[in-house]
Structure 1
């Protein structure tokens, strides 16, 4: 058996150089009312007038977010639904019910994935590898979160009215959908050039109201590994963008990177810190699967299309906990997946 094929695409210790062009042909973002009032409000494709989106439950509303986002993204791509061979999707709810109930009507073969708030990076990485390997020409990636459904899943019922510490983040109500393609077109927003799959990093932290601190070690690990594997410096990127560390996690990330001999402070951006402004009382910032996904679709890819950014390292971050693990006193491990995006214009 020939065992050398994988080595052609392996980059350094843990990264992958995408061997053929994989393009982000189209994307869409659908968000709730709070997100629409934030700095990116004019950039989103749809801003809901009601966070239930006309549904009876918060969970149904989140499914609706995904359905609308994927419909819009397919429409923008110029492809027919049947041309999209695989759908990679996930969310924060138990058994990924937002994805299964939201996307079932599309009847596209589904690869359900869970990476907590890093799911956007995970789905895009897997889809890019599938396309680069010649197993499909087109694939879709979808993820979502909803403030109300996530609070029920991980913290407290909304009616409880608990106080939130300043280290807490606000789960974004939103869904981002992306159509990836191995065929170049005039519609392409960016190209995926490299991948660094994250590993579980656990510093033993147990504070679910300080997710930024729990995820920062994983972000530092992936960013450092990506730069080492591709023999690059932070300054080689216009932006290194994390998903939802928030203000607390950002400081921790910078400190950990400096300990590794790298200063990323001049190029670092965190989606959670950008999606809301100070007047919106989001405390440390935004979080959730939808945070990095809608920011990527509405803002990051827009900067790349316009030529303002040429090379970006997109690193969504996730906290791998559940109600069960938290209630049993387990720590909160983190994970982060790196997707290198380059301008394709």
Structure 2
């Protein structure tokens, strides 16, 4: 029997990680899906929309009566408090709630572990909790969570790779791709500095930077000031424009400070790119450094340049990684598989 599922999400026009995750799952559900948006809008901060969003949510719970609500916080103070309120309101009305914790703040996690009572009281009311990493699950257990905790993943949109042909990968590295929010925490300046090191040895290399963010202008100014050639800033891209950049690139770099499960890494794998990133979040649960790429322990540009150079110098290694990553992502990360897993879990735990 189909269920009516209400997903609480940031507004899709913002195209953040959570909104993007659910956009990629649209049209794949067997159940009936509705959305309720909350948080900031374009040019409208979250504190202004808070009570408006909350009232809309309460009315929807009362008059639409969903079978289950899916809330999508990150483990950060404001989001945990806000989504905890959404959880409690649904439970008051005897509606099941699934919690999907996306991002993870290690400092805040340690605070909760020391004083877990309120967090435990609220979030143990979840039917089950999704997390993106086994280490996150272990910390929830330390917080006293006793409801089921399940591992899940972000996704690769099936449509994104429909025209991609993995057999066109030659193993030659000419273009390095950075695709993420242009913020310090994503390692944009580390990526650029690693490229500077490599460019002195391999003049043909190019770097493509896809995304927008608070550090975009600073990154552009840095490139201009250093007179670095062959760095292309595309700005934010979506849909098949993103697919083109993955297809035109040969290796993916993300010197991130921390992640849950970075969608861009899974997408890059699906397009057959070796991955040079860091041992963060859910990547630690599956990443094979002998086949998929490299996990760099530190944040030094020299370390990232060193790992990238291994693939520049060894086309056979690059091609083998491309073939392995593509097949691995197809088998595990396609949106259709992610939807099927969520619906199976809902059917099992709600019954």
Q: Scaled by the length of structure 1, what TM-score is found?
A: 0.30
Q: Scaled by the length of structure 2, what TM-score is found?
A: 0.29
- Quick check: which one's strand share is greater? 1
- Quick check: which one's helix share is greater? 2
